Amino acid sequence: MLKLVRAEFAKMRRSSMFLVGFAGAAVTPLVSFAGIMLYRSGPNAEEFTVNYLLNETNLFNNLLIGPALYGLLGSWMVIREFSEGTLRNILPIPVSRARFLAAKFLALLVWILVLSLWSWILAATLAALGGLDGWSLSAVAKYIAPFLFGGALLFLLSSPFLFAALALRNLVPVIAIIVSLTLVSVVIGNSAYQPIYPWTAIIPIVSGKPSAGFPPYAPYLSLFATSFAGFVLSFIRFCRMDIP
Amino acid sequence: MSDGGSRLDTVLETESLVKRFGSRNAVDGLSLRVRGGEIYGFLGMNGAGKTTTIRMLLGLCKPNSGCVRIFGEPQTGTRRRALSRVGFLSDSPGFYENLTALENLRLYADLSGVIGRTAIEDALRAAGIDAAADARVAGFSLGMKRRLGVARALLNHPELLILDEPINGLDPAGIRDLRIILARLARENGVAVFMSSHILGEVEQVADRVGVIHGGRLIDEIPIAELRQRIRSCVEFSVSDENRAAVILERDLGITDFEIPSAGIVRVYMRTVDAAAINRAFVVNGIDVSRVEREGAGLEEYFLRLTGGDHA
């Protein structure tokens, strides 16, 4: 399994998607910081502390950029094997299909955690450079866990996208699905249904705030059921499919 | 590697293999055997079922019925360990284009359990692609990718090579090199080769036995010597003195591949018979020639006659 995970990272060498990942994960800290700089001289300037920047960055990572970016990266990892004709050359080595897919998921998890850390590092650095109130090593360090936790939950939510990638084997319709689901997140994000839509349920889970109108387990149930279904369907699909 | 004693053992076997796509049988009850040290040419037109058969051999798609045995082991579900002794080249030589040739092979070597840079370098050299080892595959021509595919197929020192249309995209030098590699592996190392192609002339030059697939069915399976006999074309001369004609053929024209099937008939077998030159020699030497007729089928004619002359 270690060989397969290592191979996944070897495949990314010199790939433009590697840079896309880092560039995409840099968007939220940069945009959040730019917003603070823009409104810093306004009436609510005292709000714009280190905590504010890191909270905003994590929120937008979990709600907007993360699902889209990580869904795209995971789907690309799968679809490129079909489009570049490499899958039909790797599986007969022989490589177990279940292990091959598991290695992809594991590599994606590692990649997402690295990008979550990168996003945190960037936000913390920008906060220091911008001289935001409340900056200290301990103040920023306490956000490492929420960033990584958010990343891990986003990884769980990438499984339906990987299933779509395996079923469609074409990045364009998969991107359309990812964008659609992310737009739904924007609509539902501020509604009462936030805890039961899997891609917004992540917000009450990470923040630890109870969900009004729904039992406390509702966000967990929504997120984990979606993730579980995505994983199971992905493995069934991949292990049974004829490789073109 | 197979030793001399095991060369004739069956290394690849299919039994009543069926693959359906919708209502169409892409492969229909295919049974064949490939022995150790043998080069088996798997001939068929486009869409005849060659690639589908190879995909089933390599475990890429599942047969609806029938079975595949490699080195005697049935290849079912997750039990495909025998494939580790197989080298393969698929019809599209897929590589990670952002990686170099060397990096690609290193990745496959790592997953195959092949240890050491020497094995990779040997494979690259054998396939004649060593000069481009550090170049990114994105810049490779189809022929170079094919050569790299051959290198990948040789990486694990296979006992069985499964090649899908291996000469597609190769230049004449590449085709010649591949022919030499396959012949050497089969004769010296006892490696069995199963290669598909729709180019009869190429298969004829390298294969020991040929199987012809059409509409998913194996419609003929013969040793190459027999195939050559079947496709041997000849020119038949009706002459006044067959014995003198034989002397002229041998002495003056240096032709030995001929026969006298009956009195007054001389049949000259050659790939390209210069019938006019033979006729001239007979007449100059006082032999009357009353009839000259070309007989027998060429390779293409044979194949078209076998398959009904249509596409699958």
Interaxial angle between packed helices A97-129 and A2-11, expressed in degrees from 0 to 180 and rounded to the nearest 10: 60
Looking at the structure, tell me whether residues B110 and B258 fall in a common domain. no
- Does B7 score more than 60 pLDDT? no
Alpha helices in A157-216 (DSSP H): 159-168, 171-189, 198-207
- Indicate yes or no: CB of A10 within 8 angstroms of CB of B99: yes
Last residue of a domain, one of B221, B249, B284: B221
Which residue among B81, B83, B96 sits closest to A86, beta carbon to beta carbon? B96
B175 in a structural domain: yes
Looking at the structure, tell me whether residues B126 and B206 fall in a common domain. yes
- Does A210 score more than 80 pLDDT? no
Looking at the structure, tell me whether residues B216 and B141 fall in a common domain. yes
Which residue among B90, B97, B111 sits closest to A88, beta carbon to beta carbon? B90
**What pLDDT does residue A23 have?**
95
Helix or strand run (H / E) with residue B259: strand B258-259
Interface test with B, best of A2, A80, A93, A104 (most B CBs within 10 A): A93
Section B5-30 average pLDDT? 84
**Nearest-by-CA chain A residue for B61:** A242
Tokens for B30?
């295919």
B310 in a structural domain: no
In Å, how far is A242's CA from the nearest CA of chain B? 4
Does residue A103 contact residue A8 with C-beta atoms inside 8 Å? yes
Q: Is residue A10 packed enough to be buried (19+ CB in 10 Å), middle (13-18) or exposed (0-12)?
A: middle
Q: What is the CA radius of gyration of chain B?
A: 24
Looking at the structure, tell me whether residues B82 and B198 fall in a common domain. yes
**Residue B45 belongs to a domain with what CATH number?**
3.40.50.300
B86 in a structural domain: yes
**What pLDDT does residue A199 have?**
93
Looking at the structure, tell me whether residues B270 and B201 fall in a common domain. no
Q: What is the pLDDT of residues B90-141, one digit of tens each?
A: 888 889 999 999 999 999 998 888 777 788 888 898 888 888 889 999 999 8
**What pLDDT does residue B258 have?**
84
- Indicate yes or no: CB of A11 within 8 angstroms of CB of B83: no
- Indicate yes or no: CB of A86 within 8 angstroms of CB of B94: yes
Chain A residues with CB under 8 Å of B96 CB are 11, 84, 86
Chain B residues with CB under 8 Å of A6 CB are 110
C-alpha–C-alpha distance, residues A45 and A132, integer Å? 10
B88 in a structural domain: yes
Q: Which of A230, A169, A168 is nearest to A198 (CA)?
A: A230
Q: What is the pLDDT of residues A155-194, one digit of tens each?
A: 999 999 999 999 999 999 999 999 999 999 989 988 888 8
Last residue of a domain, one of B221, B247, B269: B221
Q: Which of B1, B8, B6 is nearest to B209 (CA)?
A: B8
**Interior/surface letters A45-61, b for 16+ CB within 10 angstroms, e for the rest:** eeebbbbbbbbbbbbbb
Q: Is A215 on the interface with B (CB under 8 A)?
A: no
Cis peptide before A94 (omega within 30 of 0): yes
Looking at the structure, tell me whether residues B92 and B199 fall in a common domain. yes
What do you get for the CA distance between the two ends of chain B, in Å? 37
Distance set, CA B154 to CA A84, A90, A171, B311 (Å): 21, 14, 33, 33
Does residue A205 contact residue A136 with C-beta atoms inside 8 Å? no
Looking at the structure, tell me whether residues B167 and B250 fall in a common domain. no
Section A78-97 average pLDDT? 90
Interface test with B, best of A19, A83, A86, A235 (most B CBs within 10 A): A86
Number of CB atoms found within 10 A of residue B185's CB: 23
Q: What is the pLDDT of residues A46-58, one digit of tens each?
A: 778 889 999 999 9
B128 in a structural domain: yes
Q: Could you say which DSSP state residue B221 is in? A: E
Looking at the structure, tell me whether residues B245 and B105 fall in a common domain. no
In Å, how far is B93's CA from the nearest CA of chain A? 7
- For B246, the domain range is 232-295
Alpha helices in chain A (DSSP H): 2-11, 16-39, 50-60, 66-83, 87-90, 97-129, 137-141, 144-156, 159-168, 171-189, 198-207, 218-240
Which residue among A4, A13, A88 sits closest to B98, beta carbon to beta carbon? A13
Looking at the structure, tell me whether residues B53 and B177 fall in a common domain. yes
B300 in a structural domain: no
Q: What is the mean pLDDT of chain B?
A: 84
In chain A, positions 84-123, which contact chain B (CB-CB < 8 Å)? 84-96
B301 in a structural domain: no
Residues of B with CB under 8 A from a CB of A: 55, 58-62, 78, 80-81, 83-84, 86, 88, 90, 92-99, 103, 106-108, 110-112, 136, 149, 152
Q: Is A243 on the interface with B (CB under 8 A)?
A: yes
B48 in a structural domain: yes
Looking at the structure, tell me whether residues B245 and B216 fall in a common domain. no
C-alpha–C-alpha distance, residues A125 and B137, integer Å? 39
Amino acid at site A56: E
- Does B30 score more than 70 pLDDT? yes
Which residue among B60, B99, B111 sits closest to A13, beta carbon to beta carbon? B99
Q: Is A14 on the interface with B (CB under 8 A)?
A: yes
C-alpha–C-alpha distance, residues B232 and B229, integer Å? 5
Chain B residues with CB under 8 Å of A87 CB are 94
Interface test with A, best of B95, B107, B161 (most A CBs within 10 A): B107
**What pLDDT does residue B1 have?**
40
Looking at the structure, tell me whether residues B33 and B124 fall in a common domain. yes
In Å, how far is B117's CA from the nearest CA of chain A? 16
Looking at the structure, tell me whether residues B265 and B146 fall in a common domain. no
**Residue B249 belongs to a domain with what CATH number?**
3.30.70.100
Q: What percent of chain B has pLDDT over 70?
A: 90
**What pLDDT does residue B299 have?**
64
**What pLDDT does residue B3 have?**
41
Instruction: Please give the tally of structural domains in chain B.
Output: 2
- Indicate yes or no: CB of B107 within 8 angstroms of CB of A11: yes
Last residue of a domain, one of B176, B198, B221: B221
